[in-house]
Structure 1
């Protein structure tokens, strides 16, 4: 684990030196002093490598002199803002991971930008290696200390503190989503939520008996084929200022710890990926850790429905009709359309119990959203324009992008059932992510009125098949930083 230190500007005596440089740069401050100490080798090396400071560009100079093991230049692009500094920190991390110590010549940057560079490096440093028993020391990162220069050390530390807490939440989510399904099943995932209690989050776990008493027929129908008992976890962070009368904000996550598809079983190829069908719930848990860790001035609730969808003699069948917690009945057409059934009961419960300012659910819900948007955006469906606009802006600020998708009566008609209030899939493959959202909306908008709501289909963004600036290959924790930003900008205080 790397320590991140914020220090006064000075020329490092050893280790790696990192230079964050924008387009049109000229070496200044520590970078200029280091170049002088190296007899101009840094400037000559950057020129020889045609390093221009473009976004995503990097250049490594080995043993340039002055006892430095290497100099790593990373490009910021045309604008040195928080996003570019974060990306530069992430891009720099793999280039210095083999060094015990590195120093960032960030003395010319504002304290908040220094902290953003550190945040990017920390986010990129994530590794899930607990099951690698034969990994050698040479294969592991060696970076023990990353020091970042700042003209205002205290301000940089203050800016870093909430970013560090958010990274803790991101790492918690990545850990949960990365775990194999024989290790992380509903009971175990619920137990891990108890770790949030040390941050001041209250955690309440409901088991099968409690959900049967409540009438969670939709959620329990999904779990009935599994030997693993279902759970619902309610997490509450109460950080609003004394005297606040604002209702809490609510986040709901789909937590299918493994999804075979049930009786409507999935093809074998790639089924191992279905361990991350709980990524929506994982994001909610990580978000609650982030909010509590940085002591967000808001009352927030996080609810996750945790089930395993398995085929067996007791499994739910196509053709079954279940009664949801809302009282609405659902004809099961496809048992692989199970996440919406879980969300149906949990959303209704969240609405009835907490009467929140808004509800946002996250779910790896449909392959159709990947067909529509690829892996670049999550699909966003919303019944409230203001909430949708806020989410879009938060996505642009954090890089966790959303794209608003349509809702409408024509789509809603497609889930009309001949024998129940609705069926759990539409009439064909067309618009599958939209009809899924229409299904979920029936458990949000009621005769009592509509609570502001957004549904984020994160099927294409929950897992990365290659590295990006701040996200190593694997679990992304998509949604944690997006929703933390939403809360910080619009709902605190």
Structure 2
């Protein structure tokens, strides 16, 4: 588990600023206005801070942009970092400011002069999230032992200290999801994935692992068909958090956990296949949410279910043209073995409803390339059968700054899935590919259950840095789903 650079909050003592080591961060909106901490640093540096803030370059900077004075005269610090702010900035801008701090924070001792600035908690969260660095498979360097520290000098230290645990709980969940997605498939097998989820029992979650014999008894032929060509056994892991009203129906979170996707017999091109270690991104997000809920002792009932499989070409592998029977009882003609995630989700969705009778249900999956074509890497596709539930999720995602865009559903799309030999086929052709995939999943949602399908194929893994994450896994929607629970969709 990547270590969290957790924040601490202290009162500001301007007399100690000259002796502060590592990095000292000043938050400024430009102009001549300076708080007492900034004024002290300006005196120590003989006006260097004021000159930077008055520069044309800083005047043109946007909120979250950072500049620095290296090895400033009069201070022990190795750098004074100045981050552009707007005192009227919103939550997402505050997180971006934190991201600028966190980008340079890992392995450093960082002191942030936040004073009485609003949204300090969001700045701290942004710094924690951006300080993430997945180094599990890199040979340690000379400075590997130094993790650094993140300290905020604030006017209301006691108030902020009360928020420390909640902020860290969110970051822990995001980091857990990122670590899972970043792991190579030879490390994160279905068995190892299940073991990491079982370890969450130490936090108070109830965790069960259903192995292949149990899945066969349940009739999960769709899920089992995907993994039958792999040496890694298929599994379903159930994680329960019962922190709400006893007996109240839970919110169900269902994740696609394809630990590696070759495409099966419908094998993918070699170029880019190495990124298919992220095809368990939906399951990783579900795991991250469940960890956050447990760490913050959420007053809610939530169950997380993930289907763990590996899609490999083998003498026993599923073939195009095969017909499998789902747990629901529907038969499915497998047109393309690379459209495997929906087969996994179909059985786990049905099992979640049969066993838990959830108040609402969300599934997450790196499901289609089509959603990436449509929405790029800034938004995930959102499909839902319930306007109120969808609106609640979109509100939570907007609050957390995680892009989400509602997509359509409809009978015309569902008609593309008609099969000549079975009840349904698993692909509906190229047109509307993300929508037909969602329509396939809707077939396995009972009519009375509010449901949202989140296609995160474009956002789960990024090839570029973002304000809150280095390139690689993002942990997208851990925060949004935690927010959804906070806002009342806990059952």
TM-score bracket relative to the smaller structure: over 0.9
* Alpha-carbon distance in structure 2 between the residues aligned to 1:25 and 1:294: 41
Equivalent residue number for residue 415 of structure 1: 417
* Alpha-carbon distance in structure 1 between the residues aligned to 2:147 and 2:314: 48
Equivalent residue number for residue 58 of structure 1: 66
* Alpha-carbon distance in structure 2 between the residues aligned to 1:381 and 1:396: 16
1:237 aligned residue (217, 224, 241) = 241
Equivalent residue number for residue 434 of structure 2: 433
* Alpha-carbon distance in structure 2 between the residues aligned to 1:89 and 1:188: 33
* 1:396-415 equivalence runs, <5 A: 396-415=398-417
Deviations 1:386-417 (A, max 9, x none): 11111111111112111000000000000011
Distance 1:81 1:143, change over 3 A: farther
* Alpha-carbon distance in structure 2 between the residues aligned to 1:348 and 1:122: 37
* 1:160-171 equivalence runs, <5 A: 160-171=164-175
Contact 2:8 2:164 in 1 (8 A): no
Deviations 1:43-82 (A, max 9, x none): 1122236313621321101233332332111122463333
* Alpha-carbon distance in structure 1 between the residues aligned to 2:233 and 2:490: 36
* Alpha-carbon distance in structure 1 between the residues aligned to 2:316 and 2:331: 20
Equivalent residue number for residue 454 of structure 1: 452
Contact 2:112 2:153 in 1 (8 A): yes
* Alpha-carbon distance in structure 2 between the residues aligned to 1:58 and 1:186: 42
1:395 equivalenced with 2:397 (yes/no): yes
Greater Cα offset, 390-399 or 372-381: 390-399
* Alpha-carbon distance in structure 1 between the residues aligned to 2:49 and 2:107: 20
Equivalent residue number for residue 216 of structure 2: 212
- The 3-state SS of whatever aligns with 1:253 is strand
Contact 1:76 1:88 in 2 (8 A): yes
Please report how far the alpha carbon of residue 246 of structure 1 lies from its aligned counterpart in structure 2 after TM superposition: 2.9
Distance 1:372 1:217, change over 3 A: same
Please report how far the alpha carbon of residue 96 of structure 1 lies from its aligned counterpart in structure 2 after TM superposition: 4.3
Contact 1:56 1:77 in 2 (8 A): no
Equivalent residue number for residue 187 of structure 1: 191
Please report how far the alpha carbon of residue 24 of structure 1 lies from its aligned counterpart in structure 2 after TM superposition: 5.4
1:126 equivalenced with 2:132 (yes/no): yes
Q: Which runs of 5+ in 2 are unaligned?
A: none
* Alpha-carbon distance in structure 1 between the residues aligned to 2:105 and 2:79: 9
- The 3-state SS of whatever aligns with 2:57 is coil
- The 3-state SS of whatever aligns with 2:196 is helix
Deviations 1:192-231 (A, max 9, x none): 1012111100000000000001100100011111111100
Equivalent residue number for residue 369 of structure 1: 371
* Alpha-carbon distance in structure 2 between the residues aligned to 1:70 and 1:235: 45
* 1:463-478 equivalence runs, <5 A: 463-478=461-476
- The 3-state SS of whatever aligns with 2:487 is helix
1:136 aligned residue (127, 136, 141) = 141
Equivalent residue number for residue 5 of structure 1: 8
* Alpha-carbon distance in structure 1 between the residues aligned to 2:146 and 2:56: 27
Equivalent residue number for residue 29 of structure 1: 36
Q: Which runs of 5+ in 1 are unaligned?
A: none
* 1:255-274 equivalence runs, <5 A: 255-274=257-276
1:247 equivalenced with 2:244 (yes/no): no
Distance 1:486 1:327, change over 3 A: same
Contact 2:409 2:439 in 1 (8 A): yes
